[in-house]
Structures are given as structure tokens and as C-alpha cells.
Homo-oligomer: A and B are copies of this chain.
């Protein structure tokens, strides 16, 4: 008896590991959570066909408020929750692990490919040369935080790259495109009254990560905002100083 948190990976149903699929098949009930992220390359039906099970899709409340129901169910049977990406990159899943520990219910984690590791590598950048990751959220109401750019500039002062994740609100079918993310970074620069980031600043885009033909482009922010980057999901990287191999990789992906 355990709660199994199983990652589905980056792009489509075939991004799950053999371990993940085997685990799903031993579970009595399989829930899915697709609001923190979603597989853009497969429908629910395709995921079910690949995994060989029926999925019960949970709404946000089903995990965050109703997590205790999942935990209670896992006391007497193997129960799975499948999610896009790696299962432990969202706080809400860590919270679920803690609920299990408090209740004495074993948790089993099955990892999967994640954008955190994939995006830097796809652009040819070294992981140990990244500072903290930031997320650009869709502004709502009067709320417009500038902290993502502040963190990014602090990274760059230390010559470090920044992975910039873009907002996903899957329940609203909203997946922030690179263009909007770049626009928001420019707006943050304006509000911070800094010229440390502007239309001429170099940036990189990873789109459709995990597919066999992802879109990988580098260029100025202005040029990337005009480029056709294909369907979501999009992710940005703002580079710090580029080392030799990094610089060659960067140039090889220039618009």
C-alpha cells in the first residue's frame, strides 16, 4: 500500500519511464493532475491507452484541499497520482508527500524528464552555470511583480544564466508564449528603470521540449519576439557569460 507519485515527462505519453508505466499498472486507482502542467503532445485518451489504465482527472481542489482523501485511499490500496514533468517540481505535490508522512502512508516517487534539466541542455548550456530559476506569471489586476527580472539581473551580474519558466494556467487553456514572456521582462525593466535588459539583450527559446523536433532559437529579445516559435510550451533562457562550447552552441541556434 502506498501513494505513488508518477511523472509523465515533458511532451507526450511516451515520455513516461518503464518504471512509471509498470507502477501505474499495479495501482488500483490512478488519478491525474493536469493543472500545474500538461502534456501538449497527447490527449487524455492517448495517455490512458499508453499507460493501460483509466485516469480520473482531479481539479485543483482535488489535490490541494482534497489531498487527504487521496492519502486515506492509499492506506488500504496502491493509488497513483500522475502529473506532467517530474512529480516533485510543484509545491502542491511536496505537500502531498508531507500529508502521507504525517499519516504513516508510504510514498513512492517515479521521476520523469523535466524542463528544469531539459531546457538548459537543449540550448547547449551547462547546468552548473545557472543561477536561480525564475517564473514569469501572467499579470492580473494591479499585480505586477518585478522580482523575476531582479533575480535574473542578479544572476547575470555573477555571469550566470537564468532559466525563465513561463506561466501555465492549464484550466484556462493558457500557456504563456515566449513573445509575451519577453514583453513582460521588458515591461519589468521599464518599471525598474533599468537598461540592463532591453530589446537588444540576447535570449534563447526552447519550445516543444521533449518532442523529437523541438524549436530551439537564440537571438535578441526583439528578434525572438518576431519569430515563429511554434506551439506551446515555451521556455526562455537569458544567458550570462558564455563559455567556449556554450558560445558555439548558442551561435549554431541563431535566428
Chain A interfacial positions (CB closer than 8 Å to B): 7, 9-10, 12-19, 21-22, 50, 86-89, 91, 94-95, 97-98, 101, 108-114, 116-118, 120-122, 124, 126-135, 154, 158, 160, 165, 209-210, 212, 214, 245, 248-249, 252
Contact = CB atoms under 8 A, between A and B. Distances in A.
B15 A121 contact: no
Contact of A19 (B14, B22, B111, B127): B14
Contact of A97 (B19, B109, B249): B249
A14 B15 contact: no
Contacts of A214: 109
Contacts of A165: 128
- The 3 A-B pairs at the shortest CB distance, nearest first, are namely A88-B121, A111-B113, A14-B19
A117 B89 CA distance: 8
A132 B130 contact: yes
B21 A15 contact: no
Contacts of A98: 124, 245, 248-249, 252
Nearest to A121: B88
Contacts of A118: 86, 88, 111
Contacts of A15: 17-19, 111
A17 to B, nearest CB: 5
A121 B120 CA distance: 18
A91 B167 CA distance: 29
A153 to B, nearest CB: 13
B158 A91 contact: no
Contacts of A158: 132, 154
A210 B111 contact: yes
A111 B113 CA distance: 6
